[in-house]
Amino acid sequence: MAKLDKPPKAYSAFLKAFPKVGEAWHLVGAAGKDGPLDEKSVRLVKLAISIGTMREGAVHAGVRKALAAGATREELYQVVALSAGSIGFPSAVAVYQWVDESIPRARGRKR
């Protein structure tokens, strides 16, 4: 589970290279969390936004963070299914693949 909580190396390198940008980014993120949604709901909404903008890296990160916040595989797939009407079927298939490959698998289990 620790892998879910660790950001990609590129993200860490970016923060090291641009600490003030990283600080501002964290402040914006913290301000957006003020409200009635719980962490899991926030993460599912952010995943949906990443899907809608077709940002593959953000989708991978969104899945990782949603899982860490307690989202289930079924909830992640529902977000993908809900997106199909907005982004179109071919794009939803691509996003499904991004989400699916981001979900850790237990050893010996098939996808």
Which residue did the predictor score with more confidence, 17 or 9?
17
Per-residue model confidence as pLDDT tens digits over 29-48: 888 888 999 999 999 999 99
Q: What 3-state DSSP class applies to 98?
A: helix
Per-residue model confidence as pLDDT tens digits over 64-100: 999 999 999 999 999 999 999 999 999 999 999 999 9
pLDDT for residue 111 is more than 70: no
Q: What is the pLDDT of residue 106?
A: 55
Q: What is the pLDDT of residue 6?
A: 73
- DSSP states of 27-86: HHHHHHT-SS--HHHHHHHHHHHHHHTT-HHHHHHHHHHHHHTT--HHHHHHHHHHHHHH
Domain 38-105 belongs to what topology?
Answer: AhpD-like (1.20.1290)
pLDDT band per the 50, 70, 90 thresholds, residue 109: very low
Each domain of the chain, given as residue ranges in start order, spans 8-36, 38-105
